[in-house]
Amino acid sequence: MSQTRFAIQTHSLTKRFRRLKAVDEVNANVPTGSIYGLMGPNGAGKTTFVRLLLNLINPTSGSATVLGHDVVKEPVKVRRRVGHVAALQPLWEWMTVRGFAAFMAGCYPQWRPDVVSTVLDRIGIDENATLGVLSRGQRAVVSIAVAVGHQPDLLILDEALTGLDPIARREILRNIIDAMQAEGRTVLITGQDIADMERICDHVGFLVKGRLVLESTLDHLKARVKRIHVEHAPEAAVDLPAGALQVERSPRETLFTVTDFSPALLDSLDGSGRRATAADLSLEDIFIDLAQSHTEAAR
């Protein structure tokens, strides 16, 4: 199977529901083999973005390719190579776990029942149980196990880890996602569990009000996004650099966040009675700063 540089690539992808732009001119590039965390506040458009990738809905404008296939022109090829789990995805409750897996096996020629059984065994889910009697978390595990049964080149977990207990979450992160990464497969995770994302993702994207406001590797992001603290005399004002976020001013100090930090910036702020220091931000801090600043800007 041909490998492309990007597992997911969108170009000005837009989805409009009447007046609402759920996805707005998104240009996303998810490298093949990466674990990509797509973050954003509620209503940012993450689920709509995923549905566009699977062609569950049609884009209003723009284009998207998944694993080299145009999502509109070749949706079946896309879905054949993608495993998808949506948050709290209802299942056919009358089916047993084994029956559900069998049904999915009929849909994918390259099905590997042992993969599914292995995941279910590790979590301890009885394959003869009816889906309707399983807990919400157990059903999520079943969904994830079944989603990797055909060994997809791209696994999309759309807030799929929500509701999992820590043990199940760790099992999935360790055994499924790590394995996929080891095999050079791509994982796209959406959600708001920043701690998990920070631990496993190597690429992140921030979606705010339908717009992809930032996309980067996690390391690069952390290197670029810093919290700047400038101490200065009351009469010495600080000229904020372009793109400064979350600005807090007091008579003797100014705090703000920059998204393109460089030592030169620190040098330019330092001196003349001012003392500037840069502090690293956690992914969660970065997420909050970006989300709040863009939300305020939108107002």
Give the binding site for another protein (CB under 8 A).
17-18, 51, 54, 56-58, 75-77, 79-80, 84, 86, 89-95, 99, 103-104, 106-108
Least Å distance, CB 75 to another protein, is: 7
Least Å distance, CB 54 to another protein, is: 6
Cα–Cα–Cα angle for 218, 158, 88, nearest 5°? 140
Least Å distance, CB 216 to another protein, is: 29
Cα–Cα–Cα angle for 53, 260, 22, nearest 5°? 30
Q: Which of 196, 188, 228, 16 is nearest to 85 (CA)?
A: 188
30, 7 Cβ separation under 8 angstroms: yes
Give whichever of 109 and 251 is closer to another protein, judged by the CB atom. Answer: 109
Residue with tokens 């009816």: 130
Compute the distance between CA of residue 108 and CA of residue 111 in angstroms, rounded to an integer. 6
Least Å distance, CB 103 to another protein, is: 6
Residue 23, φ and ψ in degrees, nearest 5: -130, 125
- Which letter does DSSP use for residue 241 in this model? P
Q: Is 254 left (phi over 0), alpha (psi -120 to 50) or beta?
A: beta
Coil vs helix vs strand at 285:
helix
Least Å distance, CB 23 to another protein, is: 13
Least Å distance, CB 65 to another protein, is: 17
Give whichever of 82 and 258 is closer to another protein, judged by the CB atom. Answer: 82
Compute the distance between CA of residue 116 and CA of residue 98 in angstroms, rounded to an integer. 10
